A and B are shown apart, each in its own frame.
Chain A
Amino acid sequence: MSGSNRFLLVTMGLAGLVVALFVASLLQGPVAIPPGRALTALVSNDGGWTLVMREIRLPRALLSVTIGASLGLSGAALQGYLRNPLADAGVLGVGASAAFGAVLALYTGLSTLFPLALPLAGLAGAIVAVVLVLALSGREAGSVVLILSGVAVAGLAGALTSLVLNLSPNPYAALEIVFWLLGSLADRSMHHVGLALPFMLVGWVLLAATGRGLDALTLGRDTALSLGIRMDRLRLAVVLGTAAAVGAGVAVAGSIGFVGLVVPHLLRPLVGNRPSRLLLASALGGAALLTAADLAARLISPDKDLKLGVVTALVGTPFFLALVVRAKGRFA
């Protein structure tokens, strides 16, 4: 099939893009380090520069690639599972709940006790969200019940986050929470990577295994069943995979929107619309987009700490609108 050749080409192109952006991200920072020296400082000891590379730039580049991949992959899996191009991790309420968990850690001062309390609370929020969504939607639920359960959980988490902001003792505490919510990769350490990566890996494995079921599901629930797909397992893999991958990402970086929604849209026609092929492509595309956005945020205003979530939303929205206008005829 010529389709599989094109898929290979698209995948390799995206992989190349991710590597290039990863390296560019490593080379960008307030301290000017010559590119060659910067990369060697990463692997061999070069005093202060090694410290900068390993402790500041590497975690940032690693997080942008892995969180971007998680957002893209889960967006593709959810759009395939719900057979709805409007889905992303947001419909499960995972992001909102992880954010609420983290906000609670900020509010209670738990995050000042030890640095990883913040991401850990975020992860706890994601886990609670998933348990709630699965319990609310039941075993045999169709996609509408799943979406409604997710919307309910997201709504509750959003309301609770607002309540915490409302009850903040002073404007500075509120500002700290708001800034965290905007999403950023600044000042993250390898501890953050070590905390988030295992969850993301579990999520990726779960989501990568859904390709076959998602392909069968293009022909409807009954046909997928008749092709031997276990629908309950498929749903569990999509929900748990999203919770682990995206929950871990939000826990360390805050809310980052639009990547999970836009990337699968953009790449779907390039991989011939096949859900299983879209998974890998969207993971790579998400990694590339988020790394590029983080790079852009740092290049545009190096001294202002422009928040990553703001950049992805600002770039993503017009882009998404353009896609919708172009595709208007196709979603009749």
Chain B
Amino acid sequence: MTLLTARALTVAIGGRPVVGPLDLDVRAGEVVGLVGPNGAGKSTLMRALAGLAPHGGEIRLDGAPLARLSPGARARRVAHVAQTREIAWGLTVEEVVDLGRLPHRPRFAPRSTTDIRAAAGAMAAMDLVPLAGRRATELSGGETARVVVARALAQEAALLVADEPTAGLDPAYQIALMRVFRRMAREGGAVVVSLHELGLAARFCDRVILLDAGRIVADGPPEAALSAENLAAVYGVTAHLAHDAGGLVLMPTGLIDRLGDDR
């Protein structure tokens, strides 16, 4: 089932076109990896898909135009993890995660049992229970990364758009995070996640969209999108590609010099 469709999508920043025009679909039950070099327009595209940036063309969520949903209704269906992890004042980890429940809570209402259960589930998924009472402003970078993802998970939206959520995480938490995304997809949701760790995209995503200069270069299974030719053309890198029982293994190995000096 198609959850989100974008047609002739364009996004501009300060009048300068940054993304598109492009078409893409996100189906329920899949984890879509968004990869591409720095400045390719990944964050801008993700902000548009999450309904946070004005856009040209059309984005539909469950068939309805995204731009026409009320902010509250949109927030109950699309969650967004921003690349910059801002936390002001000294809220506790538990309070930050609970903010993900705001769209579900009427103004001035206390936390419902659903709110408490959702927040607790999100904290457990991100291994934050031992940190629940700590000030979120006093955490390490990796701990903060887990808090902002847990906040978005607590939102219990059908579509999660996460911008580089693995940045700053150690390998164990990177894999654990990708597994949480896989579980969310298995339970009928969908995840669009931008990644610089191509190995994670190759192994844990159902589909990979390769973005370069605001356009889609490849969109398909990891094996097809992350081919040696595509990596060379878009990133200018050589890579070691292999298969094992768990799927595709990808390791960038060198830079392709324009003069042909491969090191």
Residues of A within 8 A of B (CB): 1, 3, 83, 209, 212, 215-220, 222-223, 225-230, 268-269, 272-275
Q: Are B78 and A226 in contact (CB-based, < 8 A)?
A: yes
16 pairs, A vs B, C-beta closer than 8 Å: A217-B88, A218-B99, A220-B84, A222-B47, A222-B52, A223-B80, A223-B148, A223-B151, A226-B52, A226-B79, A227-B75, A227-B103, A228-B102, A228-B103, A269-B90, A272-B90
B80 closest partner in A (C-beta): A226
Q: Are B91 and A274 in contact (CB-based, < 8 A)?
A: yes
Q: Are B99 and A219 in contact (CB-based, < 8 A)?
A: yes
Given known contacts A225-B52, A272-B95, A274-B91, A220 and B86 CB-to-CB distance under 8 angstroms:
yes
B135 closest partner in A (C-beta): A273
A276 closest partner in B (C-beta): B108
| B contact residues, range | 35 or more
Q: Are A218 and B89 in contact (CB-based, < 8 A)?
A: yes
Given known contacts A83-B88, A209-B107, A222-B52, A216 and B102 CB-to-CB distance under 8 angstroms:
yes
- Chain A residues with CB under 8 Å of B80's CB are 222-223, 226
Q: Are A272 and B84 in contact (CB-based, < 8 A)?
A: no
- Chain A residues with CB under 8 Å of B230's CB are none
Most buried by A among B89, B92, B99, B155: B89
B62 to chain A, nearest CB (A): 17
B87 near A: Cβ within 8 Å? Answer: yes
B202 to chain A, nearest CB (A): 28
A253 to chain B, nearest CB (A): 30
B72 near A: Cβ within 8 Å? Answer: yes
Q: Are A228 and B75 in contact (CB-based, < 8 A)?
A: yes
Q: Are A275 and B103 in contact (CB-based, < 8 A)?
A: no
A278 closest partner in B (C-beta): B89
- Chain B residues with CB under 8 Å of A229's CB are 71, 102
B208 near A: Cβ within 8 Å? Answer: no
- Chain A residues with CB under 8 Å of B47's CB are 222
Q: How far is the CA of A275 from the CA of B90 in the complex (A)?
A: 10
B105 closest partner in A (C-beta): A212
- Beyond A1-B94, A223-B151, list 7 extra A-B contacts (CB 8 Å): A212-B107, A216-B102, A226-B50, A226-B79, A226-B80, A230-B71, A273-B89
Mark contacts of B93-125 with chain A using CB atoms, 8 A cut-off: 1 yes-contact digit, 0 otherwise: 011100110110001000000000000000000
**8 closest A-B pairs by CB:** A228-B75, A220-B86, A226-B80, A228-B72, A228-B71, A273-B90, A273-B89, A228-B103
A233 closest partner in B (C-beta): B71
- Chain B residues with CB under 8 Å of A83's CB are 88-89
Given known contacts A220-B84, A220-B86, A215 and B52 CB-to-CB distance under 8 angstroms:
no
- Chain A residues with CB under 8 Å of B87's CB are 218-219
- Chain B residues with CB under 8 Å of A218's CB are 87-89, 91, 96, 99
B74 near A: Cβ within 8 Å? Answer: yes
**Residue from the list A209, A216, A272 in contact with B92, Cβ < 8 A:** A272
Most buried by A among B73, B87, B95: B95
Most buried by B among A1, A219, A275: A219
- Chain A residues with CB under 8 Å of B94's CB are 1
Q: Are B71 and A274 in contact (CB-based, < 8 A)?
A: no
Most buried by B among A1, A3, A217, A223: A223
Given known contacts A216-B102, A268-B89, A273-B89, A222 and B82 CB-to-CB distance under 8 angstroms:
yes
Mark contacts of B25-65 with chain A using CB atoms, 8 A cut-off: 1 yes-contact digit, 0 otherwise: 00000000000000000000001001110000000000000
B107 closest partner in A (C-beta): A212
- Chain B residues with CB under 8 Å of A227's CB are 75, 99-100, 102-103, 155
Q: How far is the CA of A265 from the CA of B94 in the complex (A)?
A: 23
- Chain B residues with CB under 8 Å of A272's CB are 90-92, 95
- Chain A residues with CB under 8 Å of B70's CB are 228
B81 to chain A, nearest CB (A): 8
Q: Are B96 and A219 in contact (CB-based, < 8 A)?
A: yes
B69 closest partner in A (C-beta): A228
B47 to chain A, nearest CB (A): 7
- Chain A residues with CB under 8 Å of B84's CB are 220, 222
Q: Are A212 and B102 in contact (CB-based, < 8 A)?
A: yes
- Chain B residues with CB under 8 Å of A228's CB are 70-76, 102-103
B54 closest partner in A (C-beta): A140
